[in-house]
Amino acid sequence: MNISGIHHVTAIAADPQRNVDFYAGVLGLRLVKRTVNFDDPGTYHFYFGDAVGSPGTIMTFFPWPRAVAGSSGSGMVGTTAFSIPRDSTAYWIERLSAHGLPAHLLNDWSGRAAVAVQDHDGLELLLVAEDDDDDDARAAAWGDGPVPADHAIRSFHGVTLRVADPELTARFLMDVFGMSEAPGEGPHLRFTAPGNSPGRVIEIEPSDEAGRGGRGTVHHVAFRARTDEEQSRWRDMLSEAGHSVTPVLDRQYFRSIYFREPGGVLFEIATDAPGFDHDEEAESLGTELKLPSWLEPRRTAIEEILPPIEEKSYV
């Protein structure tokens, strides 16, 4: 088995409205699901992605209003990189600057142009310019939001892992996930998954600095399993290799297992099914607060705790 790419990335934010305003309003992703943190149902869980929330496009957040500022360090994800069309960097520099967000053009980021920016919580983001030759990604890009379809974010490009011993993590990516080493820049190691799925690129950055989870940091990165059977095989293989793997957990829109790779980064393997139209029609994704069946009896109390969220007419 090989890992084909990223399924989703989950991060921590502070203010829920500001989180929606940035990812839906500035980046132009679609809010495909508003639900709650199943382990802390007094907190939202937002999912942003392409038009249907395809695996490989989904950025998710736990917005805790009182979250302290975090810092990315060893054993954590550093940068989360999205893919944009090749000729869109100038558009994004102008758009981000117009919203008061300092954005920097990187002319040669692993051989590509990229736009570096941080969200309001300090989360490190890259918009990587790539050849737009994927018809499926182009068709699925959310073009009904504030960003024209010609410039819209397509999917993930990849993530950067910060670890103390890059060789350990590199060996895991190659020997277990089936990735191949690719040319990188500077001290970074770079790996790609086989095939053409989104989110195929994993970079490793050496770091001895201790990090701290909190707002502006990634909680975990999830990789794709196309079926439950494939996920089960991954769980067996990882367990036999000595990794401590959780039982399968039902996240309503996918099923998940979690473990830490040798460098300490929290990894998840999530199934493609059942998807985000599991409990909403595709045209109305993200418009209502959706709760799992075991939390429905508490809906009134939960809604009283959660701050109201407005999806505005963004420009």
User: At 198, which amino acid appears?
Assistant: P
Q: Is residue 311 part of a domain?
A: no
pLDDT of the residue at 110: 74
Residue 71 counted as domain residue:
yes
> Which domain range does residue 176 map to?
6-305
- Predicted pLDDT at 249: 97
Whether the Cβ atoms of residue 24 and residue 144 lie closer than 8 Å to each other: no
pTM of the model: 0.96
Q: The domain that contains 46 carries what CATH number? A: 3.10.180.10
What are 232-278's pLDDT values in tens digits?
A: 999 999 999 999 999 999 999 999 999 999 999 999 999 999 999 99
Instruction: Say which range, 36-45, 75-84, 133-142, has the weakest mean pLDDT.
Output: 133-142
The answer to whether residue 313 sits within a structural domain is no
pLDDT at 186 over 70: no
Per-residue pLDDT tens digits for 76-135: 999 999 999 999 999 999 999 999 999 999 987 777 899 999 999 999 999 999 986 655
pLDDT of residue 136: 58
Q: Which two tokens stand for residue 145?
A: 């939001």
Q: Which residue type does 51 have?
A: A
Structural domain total, the chain: 1
Confidence at residue 139, expressed as pLDDT on a 0 to 100 scale: 58
**What is the predicted pLDDT for the residue at 137?**
59
* Type of residue found at 279: D
Q: Could you tell me if residue 1 is inside a domain? A: no
Q: Is 52 exposed, middle or buried (0-12, 13-18, 19+ CB in 10 A)?
A: middle
Q: Would you say residue 138 lies in a domain?
A: yes
